Amino acid sequence: MAIVSIGSDIAAIERLRAAIERRGERLLERLFTPGERSYCEARAASATHYAGRFAAKEAVMKVLGTGWRRGVRWIDIEVVRAPGAAPELRLYGESARIAARRGIERIHVTITHDAGVALALAVGEGPGA
């Protein structure tokens, strides 16, 4: 397997918290899957975890080379995490189709948060050229 592309993003936790307070349910439904929302809401610092997932989704959009265009929806990129395990990604819809066209079979992701920000790095992997 070879690295096909990489992406990173950083998100200000307070900025996302304020956006959620201002726009509420509409924003959460647009950005996060029910599973992501359940995970984040179960944490004392839910905004921190939402910011990490937001940064991960942005990083994945960079891996795909799309940004917020070409039919890529926020909820078509899902960060999942089993207890005690590292986060993993699931792609749906156009995001999955774009990844397949680019030869990306797996996207690795890491998320960290400190000092008021969340950072994510995503690495798209596929067969060697």
CATH fold of 2-126: Ribosomal Protein L22; Chain A (3.90.470)
Q: How would residue 124 be classed by pLDDT, with cut points 50, 70 and 90?
A: very high
**CB hemisphere CA count around 11 (13 angstroms):** 26
Summarize the confidence of residues 23-38 as an average pLDDT: 97
Summarize the confidence of residues 58-64 as an average pLDDT: 96
User: For tokens 């942005």, what's the residue?
Assistant: 58
Give the model's pLDDT for residue 111: 98
Give the model's pLDDT for residue 6: 97
The pair phi, psi for residue 7, each rounded to 5°, is: -155, 150
Give helix then strand counts, H and E, for the chain: 4, 5
- Report which of 95, 105, 100, 96 is spatially closest to residue 127, judged by C-alpha positions: 105
